[in-house]
Amino acid sequence: MKSEERFFHCGDFLRETLASELREIRAAVDGVPWASSFSLEVRGRLLEHQAAYNEALEREFLRRGWEAQPLLRSKPNLKGDFRKGLVFVEVQFGNSSTLYRDYYKFQYGHAHGLLSLAVLIVPVEPSAFFPTRPRSVGNMAEFALADRCLTVLPIRVPTMLIGLMHGG
Tens digit of each residue's pLDDT (9 = 90 or more) over 37-51: 899 999 999 999 899
For 145, the domain range is: 3-164
Q: Is the pLDDT of residue 18 over 80?
A: yes
Give the pLDDT band (50/70/90) at residue 8: very high
Number of domains composing the chain: 1
Q: Is the pLDDT of residue 4 over 70?
A: yes
Share of the chain above pLDDT 90, in %: 82
DSSP for the chain, please give it. Answer: --EEEEEES--HHHHHHTHHHHHHHHHHHHTS---TT-EEEETTEEEEHHHHHHHHHHHHHHHTTPEES-EEETTTTEE-SEEETTEEEEE--SBTTHHHHHHHHHHHHHHTTS-SEEEEEEESSHHHHSTT-TGGGTTB--HHHHHHHHHHS---S-EEEEEE-S--
For the chain, the average pLDDT equals: 93
The predicted pLDDT at position 86 comes to 97
CATH number of the domain within which 134 lies: 3.40.91.20
Q: Which of 132, 142, 145, 135 is nearest to 163 (CA)?
A: 142
Q: Is the pLDDT of residue 6 over 90?
A: yes
The predicted pLDDT at position 36 comes to 86
- Taking only the tens place, the pLDDT of each residue in 93-149 is 988 999 999 999 999 999 999 999 999 999 999 888 888 866 666 788 999 999 999
Q: Is the pLDDT of residue 69 over 80?
A: yes
The predicted pLDDT at position 132 comes to 80
CA 90 to chain centre: 4
Stated pTM of the model:
0.95
